Amino acid sequence: MSTINYNSNNDLDLDGKLMLSVGGEPIAFATSAKLTVTTEMVDTTNMMSGDWKDEVTGVKSFTTSSEALLSRKAGVVSAESLLDSQLSDSLLDFVFGEYKRTGDETAGYTYDLDTTKTSYTGKIRITSLDLTGENSKLKKYTMNANGCGPLKKTAGVPGV
């Protein structure tokens, strides 16, 4: 029997925003960010396996995606800059982690990586970018990217 007590009010991580940044800047006006890590399995089933399939781990890979609202703001990671990167086959540095917000509603906010929390870094290449416009809705886009090379985990440093 488990001896661990769970308390939703104390144990859930409700601080910060999980965000995806490209080239050191968070994707502007993102509504979601996703990192998916996959391990391919190699089938080793043989006549000596009995009635059960056998597997060993194979190649690992990762993908990222983000949905965001279209923006007129220049100099930010936007649908336009991501599409330009896709069309030029650019390899991009990315970070997936929690970001802290500073500023206020009037002046606007800035977002910085929270180095007290774990983050993931690597290189990505944009594989698709979908632009969406709907009647009486905000224009948005979805970006998908494949990881190129290893995904690196950076442990958070408490008290930084």
- Rounded Cα distance between 103 and 116, Å, is 20
Please check whether residue 142 lies inside any domain of the structure: yes
Please check whether residue 49 lies inside any domain of the structure: no
Please check whether residue 3 lies inside any domain of the structure: no
Residues 6+ apart with CB under 8 A from 57: 39, 40, 41, 42
Note down the domain range covering 132: 14-41+54-150
Please check whether residue 156 lies inside any domain of the structure: no
Residues 6+ apart with CB under 8 A from 28: 68, 71, 73, 76, 77, 78
Compute CA distances 76 → 18, 58, 79, 134, 160, whole Å. 18, 37, 9, 24, 27
Report how many domains make up the chain: 1
Percentage of the chain lying above the pLDDT 70 cut: 99
- Rounded Cα distance between 102 and 111, Å, is 7
pLDDT for 84-113, tens place per residue? 999 999 999 999 999 999 999 999 999 999
Please check whether residue 65 lies inside any domain of the structure: yes
pLDDT for 7-26, tens place per residue? 888 888 777 789 999 999 99
Please check whether residue 9 lies inside any domain of the structure: no
**Residue 160 has what pLDDT?**
61
Mean pLDDT rounded to a whole number for the chain: 93
pLDDT for 50-69, tens place per residue? 999 999 999 999 999 999 99
What is the domain-level CATH number for residue 73? Answer: 2.40.30
Please check whether residue 119 lies inside any domain of the structure: yes
**Residue 123 has what pLDDT?**
98
Please check whether residue 4 lies inside any domain of the structure: no
Residue 139 φ/ψ, nearest 5 degrees: -75, 140
pLDDT for 107-141, tens place per residue? 999 999 999 999 999 999 999 999 999 887 899 99
- Enter the pTM of the model: 0.87
